[in-house]
Amino acid sequence: MATSVAPPVVTVPRERRRRTPMQQRPRLWLYVVLGLGMIAMIMPFVWMILGSFKTTAEIRQYPLNFWPLEPTLDNYTELFVRLDFATFFTNSLVVAVFVTAGNIVFSSMVGYALAKLDFAGKKVLFMLVLGTLMVPGVVTFVPLFVLTANLGLVNSYPGLILPFLIAPLGVFLMRQFMLSLPDDLIEAARIDGASEWRIFLRVIMPLCGPAVATLTILTFLASWNNFLWPLVVATSEDRYTLPVALALYSVGQNAAEYGLMMAGAVVVVLPILLIFVLLQKYFVQGIALTGIK
Partner 1 sequence: MALAHTAKPAPGRARKPRSRRSRQTVVAWSFAAPFLILFVIFMAGPIVASLAMSFTDLTTRDLRSPFGVNFVGFENYVALFNDSRFVRSLANTAVFVLVGVPLTMAVALLVALALNNGITRFRTFFRVGYYAPVVTSIVAVAIVWRFILQPDGLLNGFLGVFGITGPNWLENELTALPSLIFMAVWRNIGTLMVIFLAGLQGVPREHHEAAMVDGASAVQRFWNVTLPAMRPPILFAAVITGIGFLQFFEEPYVMTGGGPLDATLSTAMYTYDQFGFGNYSYASAASYVLFLAIVVLSLIQFRFLGKKD
Site for partner 1 in 203-242 (CB under 8 A): 221, 224-225, 227-228, 231-232, 242
- Binds partner 1 by CB under 8 A, chosen from 215, 234, 265, 282: 265
Taking the complex as a whole, the smallest distance from the CB of residue 92 to partner 1 amounts, in Å, to 10
Task: Please identify, using beta-carbon distances, which residue of 72 and 140 lies nearer to partner 1.
Answer: 140
Residue 147 burial (CB < 10 Å; 0-12/13-18/19+)? middle
Taking the complex as a whole, the smallest distance from the CB of residue 81 to partner 1 amounts, in Å, to 20
Give the separation between CA 242 and CA 180, rounded to whole angstroms: 38
- List the interface residues with partner 1, window 145-204 (CB under 8 A): 145-147, 149-150, 162-163, 165-166, 168, 171, 196-197, 200
* Total of residues contacting partner 1 (CB under 8 A): 105
Contact between 13 and partner 1 (CB under 8 A)?
no
Contact between 57 and partner 1 (CB under 8 A)?
no
Taking the complex as a whole, the smallest distance from the CB of residue 50 to partner 1 amounts, in Å, to 10
Contact between 7 and partner 1 (CB under 8 A)?
no
Query: What's the first-to-final CA gap in the chain, in angstroms?
Result: 46
Query: Quick one: which H or E segment has residue 13?
Result: helix 7-19
Contact between 18 and partner 1 (CB under 8 A)?
yes
SS3 sequence, 100-112?
A: HHHHHHHHHHHHH
The one-letter amino acid at 209: G
Taking the complex as a whole, the smallest distance from the CB of residue 140 to partner 1 amounts, in Å, to 4
Task: Please identify, using beta-carbon distances, which residue of 68 and 168 lies nearer to partner 1.
Answer: 168
Taking the complex as a whole, the smallest distance from the CB of residue 146 to partner 1 amounts, in Å, to 5
Contact between 4 and partner 1 (CB under 8 A)?
no
Give the separation between CA 165 and CA 112, rounded to whole angstroms: 18
Q: Which of 111, 113, 109, 129 is CA-nearest to residue 176? A: 111
Task: Please identify, using beta-carbon distances, which residue of 32 and 97 lies nearer to partner 1.
Answer: 32
Contact between 132 and partner 1 (CB under 8 A)?
yes
Give the separation between CA 259 and CA 72, rounded to whole angstroms: 10
- The SS3 assignment for 232 reads helix
Contact between 44 and partner 1 (CB under 8 A)?
yes
Contact between 93 and partner 1 (CB under 8 A)?
no
Taking the complex as a whole, the smallest distance from the CB of residue 274 to partner 1 amounts, in Å, to 10
Instruction: List alpha helices for 53-208, DSSP H.
Output: 56-60, 74-81, 85-116, 122-131, 137-150, 157-161, 168-179, 183-191, 196-198
91 within 8 A of 241, measured Cβ to Cβ = yes
Taking the complex as a whole, the smallest distance from the CB of residue 66 to partner 1 amounts, in Å, to 9
Contact between 8 and partner 1 (CB under 8 A)?
no
